[in-house]
Structure 1
Amino acid sequence: MKKLSLLYMVMITLLASGCAIENPKKLEVEMKNENGDSLGNATLQEQSDGVEVALDLEGLPPGEHGIHIHEKGVCKRPDFVSSGNHFNPDDTKHGLLHPEGAHGGDLPNLIVGEDGTVKVKLMAPMVTLSKGKTSLFTKEGTSLIIDENKDDGMTQPSGDSGKRIACGEIKSDKK
């Protein structure tokens, strides 16, 4: 009877620990403009429903801007094309409004105030900071890109959102 009780206790402990996120993963990403000036930080944090992207930025042009996670963790100025295409591990169409979308890296548009600041939290529900196909910690890393115009949510392959105006490299501290 003692052995059976001990076995039940071990099983309950294992099940309970597997259901909870003991230490949610969190990462700071410095965002820079095409001149290399810091605009502030994006804080990425693992949640039960994806990755929360909390932005606290200044020095951006006022208005609506597309923001996406890209497939490479390289932010070579001034155009940031080194970051590659949108992060798309499931090979879907682009756009939060597209019936065959969206990319894992598609995020809602940012609205930057007249003073050039934005402080907002967005959700990236199709990605993770954990291991796996949808992890942002790929071999080449990933990046967070802000575009000059809004993303229309449909146009292939990137929402007709114009040139890239800010970039931050998403890389794990663990090598």
Structure 2
Amino acid sequence: MGLLAALPILLAAPAAALAHDHGHGGGGAMADLIDGQGQTKGKATIRQGKDGIEVDVKAVGLPAGVHAVHVHTTGTCTGPDFTSAGGHWNPGKKQHGHDNPAGAHMGDMPNMTVGADGTGELRTVIKGGMLTGGAAPLLDADGAAVVVHAAADDYKTDPTGNAGGRLACGVIKAE
């Protein structure tokens, strides 16, 4: 192959690498959120960032109000109650809640406000979290899930934050 024939390939390779990396230094994952009847309730996009795991949850069709959002330990979302997702991701064996001096679980994220139109968005970073590699990666052998709860997290009550039932669940899958 001549140099001129190879030029388009050589020019495209760096662009393809940049498009896949998104400037976050690692691969990504996603989770399609469903309710107990299997209806779509949103999506979570997850990327490895330099300070931890970057999470962007976009919800639709949920009741208005404030809802807890957590990462749970098991990549299974069997409805209608999603207890198959296990407890909160907690590799550090801490207590629950950002306001708990003995907390928080790695999977404890801020609450998400859902408007009257049923939509909400949460963007956060799980500080120190790793998608893959390290001592306690999120994407381990049994996977993980993002769960949206019926009520707000009180940020202190161990082990659940009094967040109520599980409205929506999404299995986190590597992209």
Fold match (TM-score > 0.5): yes
Tell me what 1:13 maps to: none
Task: Give 3-state SS (helix, strand or coil) of 2:44's partner.
Answer: strand
Tell me what 2:127 maps to: 125
Tell me what 2:107 maps to: 105
Query: What letter corresponds to residue 141 of structure 1 in structure 2?
Result: G
Please give the alpha-carbon distance, in whole angstroms, between the structure 2 residues aligned to 1:58 and 1:91.
32
Match 1:55 to one of 36, 54, 57: 57
Please give the alpha-carbon distance, in whole angstroms, between the structure 2 residues aligned to 1:112 and 1:38.
16
- Count of aligned pairs: 153
Tell me what 2:19 maps to: none
Query: What letter corresponds to residue 96 of structure 2 in structure 1?
Result: H
Please give the alpha-carbon distance, in whole angstroms, between the structure 2 residues aligned to 1:22 and 1:127.
13
Matched, 1:74 2:97: no
CA-to-partner distance for each residue in 1:1-58, whole Å, 9 max, x for gaps? xxxxxxxxxxxxxxxxxxxx78532222101111111112110011111111112221
Q: Contact conserved, 1:104 with 1:134, CA < 8 A, in 2?
A: no
Instruction: Provide runs of 4+ in structure 1 moved above 6 Å.
Output: none
Tell me what 2:165 maps to: 163
CA-to-partner distance for each residue in 1:136-169, whole Å, 9 max, x for gaps? 1111001100100000000011101100110000
Please give the alpha-carbon distance, in whole angstroms, between the structure 1 residues aligned to 2:56 and 2:87.
22
TM (norm. structure 1) is 0.83
26-35 vs 79-88, which moves further:
26-35
Aligned residue runs from structure 1 range 1-175, under 5 A = 23-172=25-174
Pick closer, same or farther for the CA change 1:115–1:135 going to 2, 3 Å.
same
* Same amino acid, percent of matched pairs: 37
TM (norm. structure 2) is 0.83
Please give the alpha-carbon distance, in whole angstroms, between the structure 2 residues aligned to 1:98 and 1:123.
19
| CA RMSD, Structure 1 to Structure 2 (Å) | 1.5
Task: Give 3-state SS (helix, strand or coil) of 1:82's partner.
Answer: helix
Deviation of the 1:123 alpha carbon: 1.6
Query: What letter corresponds to residue 100 of structure 1 in structure 2?
Result: A
Query: What letter corresponds to residue 34 of structure 1 in structure 2?
Result: G
Gaps of 5+ in 1: 1-20
CA-to-partner distance for each residue in 1:61-112, whole Å, 9 max, x for gaps? 1100111001100000000000111110010010011111000100000111
Please give the alpha-carbon distance, in whole angstroms, between the structure 1 residues aligned to 2:136 and 2:40.
28
**Greater relative contact order, per chain length (Cα 8 Å cut-off, separation 6+):** 2
Q: Contact conserved, 2:36 with 2:81, CA < 8 A, in 1?
A: yes
Q: Contact conserved, 2:96 with 2:108, CA < 8 A, in 1?
A: yes
Q: Contact conserved, 1:126 with 1:134, CA < 8 A, in 2?
A: no
Please give the alpha-carbon distance, in whole angstroms, between the structure 2 residues aligned to 1:22 and 1:157.
31
Please give the alpha-carbon distance, in whole angstroms, between the structure 2 residues aligned to 1:154 and 1:138.
27
